[in-house]
Structure 1
Amino acid sequence: MENMQCPAEDVAILASVARDICPFPDYNPSPLFVDMLSINSSLHLRNHYREVQSSLTPKQLEDFTQGLRTTFGRQGKVTLGGVGVVALSLAVLFDTLARQIRGEWVSDSGPIPGLFLKNMRGYYPPQVHTVSEYLRLVPYIANNPSRMVEESEKYLKKLIIQGRHLEKLGENHTMNEDITAVNEMVGSYFAGCLYLHLRRINNATVEELVISNRSRSPDVNFFHLNCDPEMADRQFLAELQKSENRIREAFNRCKPNHERKAKTWLLYVAQLQWLDVFTLPLYAFGYESPESMIAHREDFDLKADALGKWT
């Protein structure tokens, strides 16, 4: 990043001003990724579960509950369902089941809707398809320990191979774009969480827990700025001059310490927000130590949090 002293709050303020003038994507991935893969995953999942149920009519809620009973049985317990990749899979299942009950068409293949940044060209890196496939499978194997280990190891290996392939492409200066790069990062982040999930299942020791904190920010050749950047740049600077103090102060804090590489201020702000996303894996877990990461093992009780009649 060209200015490491620029707080995320300031970036968000400037991005809000810039988007009103020259729309560009919101690079933040779905909140489900950060929420369900964090130390507070169980709380986030319970809240999400209740929100989805509360959005349904009584008849729809009855069908929703029946769908979960069919998948998980009368006990309604999901092994490690309150933490990590299993929590994320449950959140996806709740959303998918609710859409189907409302009569919406939901594809059972391809990228999970709303979970990744939408690419208008329709291209998604291979990791997106692998993560989506795995998350759709998990509810049906979560309570089968041997199958869960087998499938998780298989998908983790696939994600690692795909990540290495993408790194090699980057070394060869393959053209990349802002949205694709974020989706690649999310795939790599998920691979680390899947590795942690396997360590939890196998009751690994701290010495066996080796997760790479490497956060690679690939060179991006194209940003989706839906305007004439140079013309919009003049409007952006004019808007800053008449804006309130907190916005001007944010701009001053975020000015680069040396000559900026971006051709326009609009592009510079877009790059700042895009780069912020690549810091997510550094703090999203929220764990104080490796010991707490392994010790965080929570099943999820669908029956206890059901708003509808379970039996």
Structure 2
Amino acid sequence: MGNMQCPPEDAAHLASIAQDICPFPNYNPNPLYHNILSINSSLHLRNHYIAVQSSLTPKQLEDFTQGLRTTFGRDGNVTLGGVGVVALSLAVLFDTLARQVRGEWVSDSGPIPGLFVKNLRGYYPAHVYTASEYLRLVPHIANNPTRMIEESERYQKQLVIDHQSWDKLVENHTMAMKDDTTAVNVFMGQYIAVSISLHLSRITHFTGNLLDINANASPTGGNIWNLNCDPKAADKEFLAKVKNSDKRTQEAFESCSPKSGHVPQTWLQHIAKLVFADVMFLPAQSGYANPDSVIAHREHFDLKADALKKWVE
């Protein structure tokens, strides 16, 4: 997992140069995904909450706060809202309410805008639709333990079914299933399923085996890489730019070059794979590699504490 010889910052630096030449997709999901599904989720959520409020006019902020009061009541407390999928659902709700009070139209179905990796053909795997539906629902049931357990179990099972169906399509060599951005979105859906499992463990104090579908993560080798250019021509331009670049770029290129001396089929594809692999490694880096500590992390979220508008009129 990850690039042992190529630091993520070096891969990202080379990708910024390569994408100017050949605009291959940005595989990095919304920072909310890996920041809030982490051991420091409550801190990231609090910062996001304040940032969203600060971006609004006084009238918009009043409507935003009223929207939260309508959903969570006068107490403004969200059970386990500072951790995991509940925290992620709150971040999504903040963004949705902010768009609405600005007068923007926001769909209440389909992939959550901006959360998953954009696919230029508009295709998203079933995982994305299931996860989006669940995250939209969570704020409305967060303070109802019975309903939260029932719905979380139902959506967790559906995400497992979604992944089993996707695996079969891959086995049948359905090409769209191996698209690079689709693979990232499938992986995000997998980790939301794992996060639901962790959330259920927090609620029920379950100590048995957790859902583990990480082993089935899509490898980088079999994917279709969407390089929107002539690879050979792009390689020549990329290598020329690196040759005439600064020391920082030269060092990044050296650290990310294959150590065996093997020249990749195309350098642009090689860099795309490096960035892709780093994205796949994000959940482990965020602290989810240690589920015991993640389950032990139980924190409610007080919406009143950081509200920039008076909560109770």
Query: For the superposition of Structure 1 and Structure 2, which TM-score range results when normalised by the shorter chain?
Result: over 0.9
Paired residues for 1:66-85 under 5 Å: 66-85=66-85
Distance in 2, matches of 1:269 and 1:290, equals 31
Distance 1:54 1:138, change over 3 A: same
The structural deviation recorded for 1:53 is 0.5
Unaligned runs of 5+ residues in structure 2 are none
Per the alignment, residue 304 of structure 1 pairs with: 305
Per the alignment, residue 40 of structure 2 pairs with: 40
Which range moves more in the overlay, 190-199 or 264-273? 264-273
Distance in 2, matches of 1:213 and 1:293, equals 16
Check whether the contact 1:65–1:308 (CA below 8 A) recurs between aligned residues.
yes
Distance 1:262 1:184, change over 3 A: farther
Q: Deviations over 1:267-296 (max 9, x none)?
A: 211121112211123222267x44322210
Check whether the contact 1:160–1:191 (CA below 8 A) recurs between aligned residues.
yes
Per the alignment, residue 266 of structure 1 pairs with: 268
Amino acid across the alignment from 1:19: Q
Check whether the contact 2:69–2:311 (CA below 8 A) recurs between aligned residues.
yes
The structural deviation recorded for 1:126 is 0.1
RMSD between superposed Cα atoms in Å? 1.9
Distance in 1, matches of 2:305 and 2:105, equals 29
TM-score (norm 1): 0.94
Q: Report the secondary structure of 1:227's partner residue.
A: coil
Per the alignment, residue 251 of structure 2 pairs with: 249
Per the alignment, residue 146 of structure 1 pairs with: 146
Check whether the contact 2:2–2:280 (CA below 8 A) recurs between aligned residues.
no
Q: Deviations over 1:11-60 (max 9, x none)?
A: 11111111121111211111111111111111111110011111111111
The structural deviation recorded for 1:144 is 0.4
Paired residues for 1:231-250 under 5 Å: 231-250=233-252
Q: Report the secondary structure of 2:6's partner residue.
A: coil
Q: Report the secondary structure of 1:214's partner residue.
A: helix
Distance in 2, matches of 1:159 and 1:2, equals 25
Check whether the contact 1:37–1:83 (CA below 8 A) recurs between aligned residues.
yes
Q: Deviations over 1:70-90 (max 9, x none)?
A: 000000000000000000000
Q: Deviations over 1:102-133 (max 9, x none)?
A: 00000000000000011111110000000000
Check whether the contact 1:217–1:275 (CA below 8 A) recurs between aligned residues.
no
Amino acid across the alignment from 1:299: H
Q: Report the secondary structure of 1:159's partner residue.
A: helix
The answer as to 2:31 corresponding to 1:27 is no
Distance 1:70 1:303, change over 3 A: same
Check whether the contact 1:204–1:294 (CA below 8 A) recurs between aligned residues.
no
Paired residues for 1:88-99 under 5 Å: 88-99=88-99
The structural deviation recorded for 1:240 is 0.8
Check whether the contact 2:49–2:91 (CA below 8 A) recurs between aligned residues.
yes
Amino acid across the alignment from 1:283: Q
Distance in 2, matches of 1:30 and 1:36, equals 10
Per the alignment, residue 225 of structure 2 pairs with: 223
Identity %, equivalent residues: 65
Per the alignment, residue 117 of structure 2 pairs with: 117
Unaligned runs of 5+ residues in structure 1 are none
The structural deviation recorded for 1:171 is 2.5
Distance in 2, matches of 1:260 and 1:4, equals 17
Amino acid across the alignment from 1:133: E
Pick aligned residue for 2:206 from 196, 204, 207: 204
Check whether the contact 2:85–2:199 (CA below 8 A) recurs between aligned residues.
yes
Amino acid across the alignment from 1:294: I
Amino acid across the alignment from 1:37: L
Per the alignment, residue 192 of structure 1 pairs with: 194
The structural deviation recorded for 1:6 is 1.6
Which range moves more in the overlay, 270-279 or 123-132? 270-279
Distance 1:262 1:179, change over 3 A: farther
Which range moves more in the overlay, 7-16 or 167-176? 167-176
Amino acid across the alignment from 2:249: I
Which range moves more in the overlay, 154-163 or 238-247? 238-247
The structural deviation recorded for 1:260 is 4.9
Amino acid across the alignment from 2:69: R
